[in-house]
Structure 1
Amino acid sequence: MNKPFSQACDNNKSPILNILKKVFLNNKHVLEIGSGTGQHAVYFGQYLPHLIWQTSDLLINHQGINTWLDETPATNVQRPIVVDLNHDWPVPNKNKRFDSLYTANTLHIISWPLVIKFFEGLAQNLTAKANVCIYGPFNYQGRFSSESNANFDLWLKERDMNSGIRDIEAILLLATSAGLHLVDDHVMPANNRLLVFSKK
């Protein structure tokens, strides 16, 4: 099987890594929600060797992720587990829960009810003082941050009416309800953001 490839993942990996190096400096066990092609996990795992990087996605994407893992020298990146936001997350026992979480380009793809479930999962499955990094496009004060994001939102909705770029204000409300505190909101290339939260 040929490895799946995302040009966007290749373009944004370095700017994201620069922030993850600081945010995850003292963390040990990160769960990636929606590993997609597996490119980010393989790249970040090599440069964050102190972390156990747990990949996850729907089962349909596991084969592609595994093709990337087969070729990585990083031994700290783990084979994907199934995380379906419609169901409870298959995480370690309460004494070994994840102390960090990373997700990229997921919240605008999944439906709003699943975005809600995503934050419920954060509340239930992360340790106290866990760090959370969420990458993707967001609207501010109900407005798109660029014309390209507005066009992207139209494309998303034509593909699936339940998807779309989310309002940051709604995301922050869900985060607060999950016990998360916004630490940083980083401006990223291609009109994206990297939200950094800490669990209270």
Structure 2
Amino acid sequence: MDDRSKPWLTGESPARGGKRHAPATVRNRDAIAQLLAQTLPATGLVLEIASGSGEHAVHFARCFPALRWLPSDPDPVARASITAWADEVALPNLAPPLQIDAADPEAWPIGEADAILCINMVHISPWAATLGLLHGAAMLLPEGAPLFLYGPYFRREVETAPSNIAFDESLRARDSAWGLRWVHDVEAAAASEGFELKRVVEMPANNLSLIFRRGPHPG
């Protein structure tokens, strides 16, 4: 996916390994951090799927120094940006980014995590990526561990903001496999992997945080 299909990113030339910038990150990072403070374990490893520019990973690693932060992204340009941001701040609890494709959880190069975070991926990827994310999270997380999703969603019996309707239309025009998902569809898919939706929290700019907890592992 080249930068022409990512109008939400700005920054230096990827040929120079430059940092990318997602303007929404600055607007939503503090609200997300406040909710993460209520959700994450006190210590352990947080795996971020689809870290994008890397700005969230840097901010949250700074906010939660007792947690180890592991960003990831399938896109080498994104990983270069994550590395550039991380090198600038040199935080001891922020690991180098992994190459992870959410849609291929069997190939994830990690065996366990204490929490998983995924921001603004579900609507900008095929449904297979969400299913892969849920399956991968089920393999990695222990019982009770959180899976935290953030982004715009449709909800039953809740009127959708006109801006989200327009956003959904623009995404589907760009790629027919993209688009806002229904919360109940994500909840059902998560339940099939052993997760329970514990909280749905309204966030800035008509976004939602979906907080799941891993149930008991079979057997």
Query: TM-score, normalized by length of structure 2?
Result: 0.85
Cα displacement string for residues 71-110 of structure 1 (whole angstroms, at most 9, x for unaligned residues): 1142101110011123221113xxxx10100010000011
Shift of 1:143: 6.6
Partner of residue 168 from structure 1, selected from 156, 160, 183: 183
The residue number in structure 1 matching 2:95 is 78
The residue number in structure 1 matching 2:143 is 128
The residue number in structure 2 matching 1:99 is 114
Tell me how far apart the structure 2 counterparts of residues 86 and 179 of structure 1 sit (CA, whole Å): 18
Backbone CA RMSD of aligned residues: 1.4
Q: How many equivalent pairs are there? A: 196
Runs in 1 of length 4+ with deviation above 6 angstroms?
none
Question: In 2, are the aligned partners of 1:144 and 1:150 still within 8 Å (CA)?
Answer: no
Report the residue type matching 2:179 in the other structure. Answer: G
Shift of 1:113: 2.1
Partner of residue 29 from structure 1, selected from 45, 56, 62: 45
User: Where is the strand percentage greater, Structure 1 or Structure 2?
Assistant: 1
Report the residue type matching 1:7 in the other structure. Answer: P
SS in 2 for 1:77: coil
Report the residue type matching 1:178 in the other structure. Answer: E
**Structure 1 unpaired stretches of 5+:** none
Q: Percent identity?
A: 32
In structure 2, the CA distance between the partners of 1:25 and 1:130, relative to structure 1 (3 Å rule), is closer
Tell me how far apart the structure 1 counterparts of residues 204 and 211 of structure 2 sit (CA, whole Å): 16
Cα displacement string for residues 102-157 of structure 1 (whole angstroms, at most 9, x for unaligned residues): 01000001101222122111111212221111000110128762000000001101
* Higher RCO, Cα 8 Å, sep 6+: 1
The residue number in structure 2 matching 1:10 is 26
Report the residue type matching 2:186 in the other structure. Answer: I
Query: TM-score, normalized by length of structure 1?
Result: 0.93
SS in 2 for 1:83: coil
The residue number in structure 2 matching 1:179 is 194
